[in-house]
Amino acid sequence: MVSRAQIVQQLLDAIPDVALILNDKRQIVAANEYCLKVLGVQSIAEIIGKRTGEAVNCLHAFEGPMGCGTSEACRDCGAAHAILRCLNSQDNVQRECHITAIHEGHSSSMEFLAKANFVQIGPYPMVLLVLRDISAEKRRQTLERLFFHDVLNTVGGMAGLADLMVIGPSDRAGEYAQTIQRLASNVAEEVSAYRNLLQAEAGTLKLDVSRVSISELFQEVIESLAHHPVSAGRNLMVESRPSDSIETDRVLLRRVVSNLVKNAVEAAPKGSVITLSSQVTENGLLICVNNPGTMSESVQHQLFTRSFTTSGERGRGLGTYSIKLLTERYLNGHVTFESSEGTGTIFKIELAPLDPDSPKI
């Protein structure tokens, strides 16, 4: 009935976002030209009968017993919620949706505003699902947080200390100068981290491979977080042998470990101990970061999605996403985690050595 109604296809093609018509089993029966372009398919026949997650190759689409919408992770999918509520209430529903899709062996994170509109075509209840890409908006929010919150707050602190150096007691000038130096380093670190993330997503990030001592790298991370507000009342413990080392990119690995430790410190209650450990393995090196806190199943399902955050602040949520992106696309590694009441939360990074003579991109 949909394919015979020419006006339906014309209306779909007039929508400048991904637009799908789904039946009451959530299967695709029609799609607009823009959707086919985004999915990289030649005709609607290639996706007819598939559900939305299956069509975009969502990471969790095939984990459940009956495909898209039936896995544990699907319980937290904004698109699934919008579609089901739309069918049940016969009303229009809107939700944000974060999808991690697999393309050519690599994962990519996408953010959509999913609008599910109830439509009746003949005797059949259906859903017009429109997916608007809001990735650029999420990036803007992140950039605003970075520069308008973190960077400006730090620069304000530097300016205040500089004023004290001018008008305050001269015997504390050295102390103020050291603090300004540390704050300036933090600003450079924040900006560099965001630049690296953009380059990593674009595939233009250059590697600098060398032999890296893990115990020295752990010490650098601990020192960089020593004066960070989130570290107050938490203790960091290292379990690493001086001989533990690997051929890798030092800057990227330090960024990954630093994000892991910062997240662990934020999640751990005051007075707790966060443990950093390393172990040489048959294939390379295993790095673990353990904190006594635990994560809910909902958080675990969305943890590596760009823009997802447990902090409740808009525009945040790049930490774990960048950990997975840098580790698995550039550092020849794999990220896993487990979280339970008995062991707390443990993030594990398994790394294989990088070839110093391999291409640097």
pLDDT at residue 282 above 50? yes
Single out the residue of 38, 110, 43 nearest to residue 77, CA to CA.
Answer: 110
Using one digit for the tens of pLDDT, what is the confidence trace for 300-344?
A: 776 766 554 555 444 344 567 788 888 988 899 999 999 888 889
Tell me, rounded to whole angstroms, the distance of Cα 201 from its chain centroid.
11
**Mind listing the pLDDT tens digit for each residue in 164-180?**
888 766 777 888 888 88
Confidence of residue 20 (pLDDT cuts 50, 70, 90): very high
Q: What CATH number should be reported for the domain whose range is 206-361?
A: 3.30.565.10
CA distance 291 to 273: 7
Higher pLDDT, 181 or 298: 181
Sketch the domain layout of the chain as residue ranges. 6-133, 135-204, 206-361
Show Cβ contacts of residue 329 under 8 Å, excluding neighbours closer than 6 positions. 106, 200
Q: What is the structure's pLDDT at 53?
A: 92
DSSP 140-153: HHHHHIIIIIIIHH
Q: How does residue 361 score in pLDDT terms, banded at 50, 70 and 90?
A: very low
The domain defined by 6-133 carries CATH number 3.30.450.20: yes
Distance CA 326, CA 200 (A): 7
- Tell me 25's DSSP state: T
pTM score? 0.63
41-100 pLDDT, tens digit each: 989 899 999 999 999 999 888 888 888 888 888 888 899 999 999 999 999 999 998 888
